[in-house]
Amino acid sequence: MTFYETEIKRIRNICYSNNKQIETVIATRNYIDNNFETEINLDFLSLIHFTSKYHLLRLFKKYYGLTPRQYLMDKRIEKSKELLKEGMTVTQTCFSVGFESLGSFSTLFKTKTGKSPTKFQKEQLSRSQLS
Amino acid sequence: MRVTLISIPVQDQEKALKFYTEKLGFIKKRDTPLEGGNRWLTVISKEAQDGPELLLEPAPIHFEPSKVFQEALMEAGIPYTQFDVDNVDSEYDRLLKKGVEFSVKPTKMGTVKFAIFNDTCGNNIQIVEML
């Protein structure tokens, strides 16, 4: 066994020994992945896992390094990039990935990608015509 | 400031280009001749072409400490870097069929699953799936 494998094993025993917690955060992430376009309801999630909402938030952050909300926003922006590339309008994209206002979508999109959704889409579409 | 480039030390640029494109599926982005047969050689991910470029850098041939460092990482089984994949198991099968050698089979660790292969250019590379 290499040094790396020994270390991984050691760290796993320290950091990832609580299977119940891991199951809970993985289920939470899957739920977000499958429902990112809806209004995500953490109360419901914490109920089915018999934890408090705040405990669930802390666990998620502990294992993924992001809060569920940060993760959700990343997911929505990632998905919106796909839809924009496919040629969906900015407004339609905004609502399909779960944002409630065009303003908040455009601002966040620009913060995350460095470009406005319109500019991103123009660049992507002209790129696909070139190739 | 933006992160647009990450570099990987390789012992042979041409061999690395072949491995990273033909086996892993990256796309050649830039290939500029420099002095002494060296090249500014970058590849990008096929699925995320607007992501950072990967520089295949011939450092171990020209800078002894880089060679020493690379060999030490290899010896210890430590990955030089890691790439995200949607599914470690299917990627493992796909690469095995192409003759890629794995030192660590798909392994679960908390909220991720990973595997490690040899890039034939002096590095261990880890592929990771978030669970």
pTM for the whole thing?
0.89
The answer on pLDDT for B66 being more than 70 is: yes
Q: With an 8 Å Cβ cutoff, are A2 and B2 in contact? A: no
- The reply to whether A60 and A82 lie within a common domain is no
**What CATH number did the domain enclosing A84 receive?**
1.10.10
Cα distances (Å, whole numbers) of residue A61 to A81, A121, A122, B85, B129: 25, 32, 35, 22, 18
Tens digit of pLDDT for each residue in A14-23? 999 999 999 9
Q: How confident is the model at residue A45 (pLDDT cuts 50, 70, 90)?
A: confident
Would you kindly state where each structural domain of chain B is located, as residue ranges? 5-130
Is residue A70 assigned to a domain?
no
Q: With an 8 Å Cβ cutoff, are B104 and A114 in contact? A: no
Query: Out of B77, B78, B110, whose CB is closest to A22?
Result: B110
**Diameter of chain B by CA atoms?**
47
Average the pLDDT over A2-8 and give the result: 96
Looking at residue A131, what is its pLDDT?
A: 58
B5-130: which CATH topology? 2,3-Dihydroxybiphenyl 1,2-Dioxygenase; domain 1 (3.10.180)
Report which DSSP code applies to B101: P
Task: Please compute, for residue A14, the number of CA atoms within 13 A of its CA located in the half-sphere on the CB side.
Answer: 6
- The reply to whether A14 and A56 lie within a common domain is yes
Contact between B74 and B117 under an 8 Å Cβ cutoff? The reply is: no
How would you class B83 by CB atoms within 10 Å of its CB: exposed for 0-12, middle for 13-18, buried for 19 or more? middle
Number of Cβ atoms within 10 Å of the Cβ of A22: 18
Which residue of B lies nearest to A27 if distances are taken between CA atoms? Answer: B131
Number of Cβ atoms within 10 Å of the Cβ of A2: 16
- The reply to whether A9 and A54 lie within a common domain is yes
- The last residue of one of the domains, among A39, A65, A91, is A65
Is residue A71 assigned to a domain?
no
Tens digit of pLDDT for each residue in B70-119? 999 999 999 999 999 999 999 999 999 999 999 999 999 999 999 999 99
Reported residue count of chain B is 131
Which residue of B lies nearest to A60 if distances are taken between CA atoms? Answer: B111
The angle subtended at Cα B9 by Cα B30 and Cα B13, nearest 5°, is 50
Distance from CA of B35 to the nearest CA of A (A): 31
Total domains in the fold of chain A:
2
The angle subtended at Cα B14 by Cα B8 and Cα B20, nearest 5°, is 55
- The reply to whether A47 and A93 lie within a common domain is no
Looking at residue A127, what is its pLDDT?
A: 77
The answer on pLDDT for B50 being more than 90 is: no
CA-wise closest residue to B60 among B71, B49, B74: B71
Contact between B57 and B7 under an 8 Å Cβ cutoff? The reply is: yes
Average the pLDDT over B48-76 and give the result: 95
- The reply to whether A11 and A59 lie within a common domain is yes
Domain that holds residue A125: 76-130
Is residue A30 assigned to a domain?
yes
Q: How confident is the model at residue A111 (pLDDT cuts 50, 70, 90)?
A: very high
Tens digit of pLDDT for each residue in A50-81? 788 899 999 999 999 999 999 999 999 999 99
- The reply to whether A49 and A84 lie within a common domain is no
Tens digit of pLDDT for each residue in B25-49? 999 999 999 999 999 999 999 988 8
